Amino acid sequence: MSIAVIKYNAGNIRSVQIALDRLGVSSVVTDDPDIIRSAEKVIFPGVGEASSAMKYLKERKLDELILSLKQPVLGICLGLQLMCSYTEEGNTSCLGIFDNRVIRFPEKDKVPHMGWNSISDLKGPLFESIADDSHVYFVHSYAAEPGVDQIAGTEYIIPFASALQKDNFYATQFHPEKSGDIGQQILKNFMEL
């Protein structure tokens, strides 16, 4: 199976590769359009800042490439946020795959949201064999508002969409690669789509 992990100016790509290695799946980190286009599955991970990440994607026309993909695509953390329509981080227009807006957590509690939290109201094949209220690992200061494409929800200060899906595009706000056995099962489910 050919897995392309999109390379752009965002961190956390190595831990995704290590998680895929644990599943016995090899992957290539690349920004080469031909390799990404021909991969069986594409992962769009990232930790970083939205406006600079979108600028990088646009400069290399990776924004257009991502929108054109027909195979299963999984956005992780910043990847989910960039797949939404807009983020308050840097007042940035994003890819618009999902209509959700991404907002900053109110400052009344500890931000960033860092650590283990539950996901509920799970829908679709990404969560096959995953129990409702399973715990996964989050690190983020911005979150997607709930919406029609939500396939999992979480509450931290406010309710937010912790996973989204539309057509061949899937995304998680949490880090499956850092979420133990639950995260490994979610990645395995994605590989089997």
Name the residues annotated as catalytic: 77, 175, 177
Among residues 140, 142, 43, 30, the alpha carbon closest in space to that of 92 is found at: 142
3, 44, 136, 168 alpha-carbon torsion, rounded to 10°: -80
Tokens 């227009």 belong to 93
- Asked whether 84 and 144 are in contact (CB, 8 A), the reply is yes
Calpha distance 84→21 (Å, rounded): 29
According to DSSP, the β-strands at 73-76 and 92-93 are unpaired
